[in-house]
Amino acid sequence: MASIRQRHTFIVHSQFRDSADTLSLTKDKLTLNGVPGTRQDRIIVTADHLKEKDILQAVDNIRIEVVSRENVAHIAPFNRQLAWGTHINVVPTEAFDWTGFCKWIQSSVNSEIACVGQESFIEVPYGYYLHSMYTDSSRLLSYIQNNYADAEQDIAHELEEASAANYLSVSLNKTSADKRIAGRLVAEAYWYYGLWTKTIRAGGPNHRVEVGLLGKIADDPQGELTYGGILAVIGENEQFVPTLFDFSPRHRSVFQPAVYYPDFRIPYGLHPKHLTTVLGDISPPRTNTTLLKASEENETKVSEAPSSCGLYGYYILPNFIFVDKYQISDLADAQRGSVKRVVGIWGETDLEIPVWMVDKWGSAMLLELVPPAQSLVPGEMQKLDIEIPMHSRYEVPRWNTTVATHDMPWPIMFWACNGSVEAEMTTSPFDSNGLGHEYLFDAGTMFYYLHPNQTISNPVNKTYLVTNLNIPLVPLESYKYVQPWTVSVILLGCMWIFYKAFLGFRRDGGIRKAAGERPDKDKMEKKGPKTE
């Protein structure tokens, strides 16, 4: 196996036809001219080709993902969805230097990420997780480029292109069952659409460069996808090799139309309510069952929903907002707010501390939701409101403003399905199965993602999947009035308490007798009425 494997995959429209004007393959290069479609690049490199190995050797599994804020169409077979921002998942070894790891994150991933040690991460069932809302991938790309001990200039050019990708990831899994990537550094980039004009050249010794132009031939909503197209290994093939293959991806988009959009109810206050509205055919992914009509010879296909599917919402909550786990559990117990079950809340849930005292980046929450009653008519429009009570933390006072504005990522809404059909799932060559929300489910689970619709929720800012939250705060310029008045009220209150206590002291004639103490008879006789 080559020490470096580089793969370029283009998912083109079914009407695309290759020609000498759009594709030119020679012994040592492939030239593309205006090829439309979705693109994924993947580079796999063995550990002996890396300059810096200390950090990577100190973990059993690590995955760093940078997701842009843009609402992009997730074209099959690249349907996996993540909240925007930088995701860092790590399964460390026993002797792990968290302080050194945080320094590496700030020098090699993003200097803006707040990381000081293990306390900056939240502990999740599979390891440790850190999320940041920064999406600049330039440092991470430089790290990948500079870490190749014998990288050719062409690899550097490919990585420069990845700075405009909608998704970028770097991972290393020592325990992976996939021998192609076990113990190897894997870098992936994804562009949801482009018009590609570029030249892809052959690699050097032990460097394999593969290119595929594929189109979807058939799509069974519950089973396999069929893709066909042409492949070439640059430097080996002088003609394209036709291909046709089937696979069952673990991540899909829902087959029926359903969209969702979140927002906070107004007024926000310190205890905002997060409302996610789902519109469309909110029914589980369906399988086709063939029935024979009793009076006719032709067949009729009806849709049946598998009973092993559940609707879920995965929330990323930055440190300025949190949920009360007991309050959410009460919602689930009462089946209110469309919450059926709290799968887990991980991270910072302290109810009292202000935002400047929070060590962790925030928290993550996975909820199983109550879908609407299943419609007997496939495609019927339905509506589901998911209302989650949240709480904002006290903000640092600022000058000339009474609110602190924050951006919150949209939740991920999906169906998770198990069953006999899913158990027959074959490995997809395009799936990015790593650490993340999918790791909270069994390995045989398939995910069907609902479509985020930012046009309804955010008509002004139609590009980004961002929910804005305005948290009230006290402006610093008002402190010159607030402080003296606060001190005055406290002093007046203390004086009033002392005054009332003094009046009570006088009325009782001095120090009160202890409870249960018998009065002194001699003193009572002396204080009796005078007689003449």
Quick one: pLDDT at residue 94?
Answer: 81
Alpha-carbon distances of 82 from 4, 70, 167, 252, 409, rounded to whole Å:
28, 12, 9, 13, 10
* Mean pLDDT estimate for the chain: 80
Which of these, 6, 430, 81, lies nearest to 227 by C-alpha position?
430
Pick from 52-56, 207-211, 457-461: least confident: 457-461
pLDDT at residue 434, as a whole number: 63
pLDDT at 420: 45
Question: What pLDDT does residue 472 have?
Answer: 87
Displacement of CA 414 from its chain's centroid (Å): 12
Looking at the predicted structure, is the pLDDT value of residue 122 above 90?
A: yes
- Report pTM: 0.82
| Residue, of 73 and 172, whose pLDDT is higher | 172
Pairwise CA distance, residues 249 & 226, whole Å: 11
Q: Indicate the pLDDT class of residue 398, thresholds 50, 70 and 90.
A: confident
Please check the confidence at residue 417 and state whether its pLDDT lies above 60.
Answer: yes
Tell me the range of 48-57, 488-497, 510-519 where mean pLDDT is highest: 488-497
Higher pLDDT, 527 or 226: 226
What number is the average pLDDT over the span 437-442? 85
Task: Compute and round to an integer the Cα radius of gyration of the chain.
Answer: 31
Asked if the model's pLDDT at residue 37 lies above 50, the reply is yes
Strands (E), 164-286: 167-173, 185-201, 207-219, 225-233, 241-247, 251-253, 258-264, 273-280
CA distance 69 to 85: 7
Give the range among 196-210, 303-317, 446-460 with minimum mean pLDDT: 446-460
pLDDT value at residue 294: 37
48 has a pLDDT exceeding 60: yes
Rounded-to-integer distance, Cα 37 and Cα 209, Å: 20
pLDDT score at 160: 72
Token code pair at residue 484: 């003296």
What is d(CA 66, CA 77) in angstroms, rounded to the nearest whole number? 19
* Overall average pLDDT of the 32-37 stretch: 88
**290 pLDDT exceeds 50?**
no
pLDDT band (50, 70, 90) for residue 293: very low
Q: Residue 226: exposed, middle, or buried by beta-carbon count in 10 A (0-12, 13-18, 19+)?
A: middle
pLDDT at residue 373 in the model: 81
**pLDDT of residue 284 exceeding 70:** yes
Statement: residue 437 has pLDDT above 80: yes
Would you say 475 and 400 are in contact if contact means Cβ atoms under 8 Å apart?
yes
- Cβ-contact 476, 398 below 8 angstroms: yes
> Could you tell me how far CA 118 lies from the centroid of its own chain?
20
Residue 378 has pLDDT above 80, yes or no: no
pLDDT score of 525 = 53
Spatial distance between the Cα atoms of 452 and 276, rounded to a whole number of angstroms: 10
Predicted local confidence at residue 419, as pLDDT: 53
Tens digit of pLDDT for each residue in 249-277?
Answer: 888 888 767 889 899 988 888 899 999 99
Query: Of 222, 123, 196, which Cα lies nearest the Cα of 423?
Result: 222
Bridge-based pairing state of the strands 59-67 and 167-173: antiparallel
Token reading at 430: 């395009």
- Residue 120's φ and ψ, nearest 5 degrees, are -80, -15
Which amino acid is residue 528, in one-letter code?
A: G
pLDDT more than 90, % of the chain:
25
Closest CA to 133 of 205, 194, 82: 82
For residue 271, what pLDDT is reported? 92
Residue 311 pLDDT level (bands cut at 50, 70, 90)? very high
Of residues 494 and 286, the one with the higher pLDDT is 494
Residue 72 CA from chain centroid, whole number: 15
Please tell me which residue, 149 or 223, carries the higher pLDDT value.
223
